[in-house]
């Protein structure tokens, strides 16, 4: 047995080095623009820049736009990009090709999905939309607006109770896969099955899970899902979101925001709307080509990565960070609100910090540890398995201990 105390600072540093040396994803870090002197643990808000993005975007601007100009819609594949990039994201969320379209913001796609879900439910006595009570605020705002437009009412229910709450009045349910504040991973398979048993569809928000863990949309029969691409998928600030429409539902998907891009014959310019086949009926207007192709380049880092390895490293990183916090931070100064059990944990650790969490976050940033906080007292540390290291986790815990 080693004489080194694994809970002592030197023991944790040595353990981090051993874990990093054994990490099968360690080579991926070099694909990102990162500072060696900074532990960037805010990938759950904005992912780091993949190095391939800048040259790709320079080519899009200088050659595809600057030289080919309008010819690029066909010659450079711009027109088909929303579905092509959608299929790349589909692999990361467990969706077979032909079910994901990229475009618009998460908020806009939540609106499309919720209204379409209510329309799929068929009206009648189904006049209630169940919403995750701790949902990200925008999802709640959009669901409330969708309820007003469809004659429904909102009922807020804890995410874990939505399956049990679903019944004959349920028109749709809207659930966050991972709680943005606590990092709790909710039961996607169980909730989806329970709401289906009550006769209603479910809309899942994958913003804090896609790119951090396996999702299994097809496997678990998910109806509709939305998500952003600028967190764990590293698409860049404001990069376009995506919409998943299960293949069997596509012929009945009735978007509340039809546009010329979602028309079966977009260049026919017909005054009457006929929806396109497939996920293209989830489009609205002209694709955001510059940000869409930046996202496309960012997704290259995932080409040879398996989600099982990503999940294993995510859990190992968060386990190690929690252990470092317990060993180094003075007792009683912080309390984890992230579940300790793996099946209920996403890829972030949230610590309740009564001692002015905002000031503590600022002090951490000044010392090279970048996380964030959520009012009033939650420190958030997001672990992106493709580029975060165990040394990042140890440094963050040690710096937090020094600050406190």
Instruction: Write out pLDDT tens, residues 18-54.
Output: 999 999 999 999 999 999 899 999 999 999 999 999 9
The catalytic position among 281, 380, 395, 398 is 380
Does the fold of domain 55-302 match that of domain 9-31+305-403?
Answer: no
205 catalytic? Reply is: yes
Q: 9-13, 66-70, 252-256: lowest mean pLDDT where?
A: 9-13
pLDDT digits (tens, 9 = 90+) for 276-314: 999 999 999 999 999 999 999 999 999 999 999 999 999
Domain 9-31+305-403 in this protein, CATH class: alpha beta
Catalytic residue of the set 231, 283, 345, 395? 231
**Catalytic residue among 40, 111, 136, 373, which?**
136
What are the sequence ranges of the domains in the chain?
9-31+305-403, 55-302
Q: What is the distance between the alpha carbons of residues 198 and 204, in angstroms, rounded to a whole number?
A: 17
Query: Is there a catalytic annotation at residue 32?
Result: no
Catalytic: which of 111, 180, 230, 320? 230
The pLDDT value recorded for residue 4 is: 42
Catalytic residue of the set 104, 132, 139, 205: 205
What does the pLDDT read at residue 355? 87
For every residue of 226-257, DSSP letters joined together read EE-SSSTT---TT---EEEE-GGGGGG---SS
**Residue from 383, 299, 266 nearest 102 by CA:** 299
The predicted structure's pLDDT at residue 6: 58
pLDDT tens column, 103-151: 999 999 999 999 999 999 987 899 999 999 999 999 999 999 999 999 9
The pLDDT > 90 percentage for the chain reads: 96
Residue 381 appears among annotated catalytic residues: no
Give the predicted TM-score (pTM) of the model. 0.96
- Domain 55-302 has what CATH class? alpha beta
Rounded Cα–Cα distance for residues 299 and 90 (Å): 11
Neighbours of 390 (CB within 10 A): 26
Of all residues in the chain, the percent with pLDDT exceeding 70 is: 98
Picking from 226, 258, 225, 254, the residue whose alpha carbon sits closest to that of residue 240 is: 226
- For 146, other C-beta atoms within 10 Å of its C-beta total 26
**For the chain, how big is the Rg over CA atoms in Å?**
22
Which phi and psi (to 5°) does residue 141 adopt? Answer: -60, -45
Indicate if 161 belongs to the active site: no
Decide if 232 is catalytic: no
Span 10-24, pLDDT tens digits: 799 999 999 999 999
Cα–Cα distance, 39 to 126 (Å, whole number): 49
Distance CA 229, CA 213 (A): 14
Mean pLDDT of the chain: 96
Neighbour tally for 11: CB within 10 Å: 14
């Amino acid at each position: 047995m080693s004489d080194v105390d694994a809970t002592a600072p030197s023991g944790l540093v040595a353990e981090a080095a051993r874990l990093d040396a054994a990490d099968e994803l360690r080579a991926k870090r070099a694909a990102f623009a990162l500072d060696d002197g900074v532990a960037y643990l805010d990938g759950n808000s904005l992912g780091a820049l993949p190095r391939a993005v800048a040259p790709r975007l320079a080519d899009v601007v200088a050659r595809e736009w600057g030289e080919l100009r309008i010819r690029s819609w066909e010659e450079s594949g711009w027109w088909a990009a929303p579905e092509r990039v959608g299929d790349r994201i589909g692999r990361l969320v467990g969706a077979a090709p032909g079910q994901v379209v990229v475009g618009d913001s998460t908020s806009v796609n939540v609106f499309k999905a919720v209204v379409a879900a209510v329309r799929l439910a068929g009206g009648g006595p189904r006049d209630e939309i169940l919403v995750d009570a701790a949902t990200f605020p925008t999802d709640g705002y959009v669901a409330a607006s969708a309820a007003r437009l469809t004659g429904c009412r909102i009922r807020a229910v804890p995410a874990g109770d939505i399956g049990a709450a679903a019944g004959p009045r349920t028109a749709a349910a809207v659930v966050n896969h991972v709680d943005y504040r606590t990092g709790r991973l909710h039961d996607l398979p169980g909730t989806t099955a329970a709401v289906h048993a009550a006769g209603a569809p479910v809309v899942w928000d994958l913003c804090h899970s896609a790119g951090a863990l396996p999702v299994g949309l097809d496997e678990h029969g998910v109806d509709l899902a939305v998500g952003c691409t600028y967190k764990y998928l590293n698409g860049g600030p404001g990069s376009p979101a995506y919409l998943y429409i299960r293949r069997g539902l596509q012929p009945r998907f009735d978007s509340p925001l039809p546009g010329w891009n979602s028309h079966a014959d977009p260049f026919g310019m017909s005054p009457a709307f006929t929806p396109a086949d497939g996920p293209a009926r989830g489009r609205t207007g002209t694709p955001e080509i510059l940000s869409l192709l930046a996202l496309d380049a960012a997704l290259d880092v995932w080409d040879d990565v398996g989600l099982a390895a990503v999940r294993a490293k995510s859990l190992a990183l968060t386990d190690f960070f929690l252990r470092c916090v317990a060993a180094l931070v003075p007792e009683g100064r912080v309390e984890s609100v992230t579940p300790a059990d793996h099946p209920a944990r996403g890829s972030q650790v949230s610590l309740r910090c009564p001692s002015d969490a905002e000031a503590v976050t600022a002090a951490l940033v000044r010392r090279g540890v970048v996380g964030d906080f959520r009012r009033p007292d939650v420190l958030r540390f997001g672990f992106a398995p493709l580029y975060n290291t165990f040394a990042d986790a140890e440094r963050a815990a040690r710096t937090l201990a020094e600050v406190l």
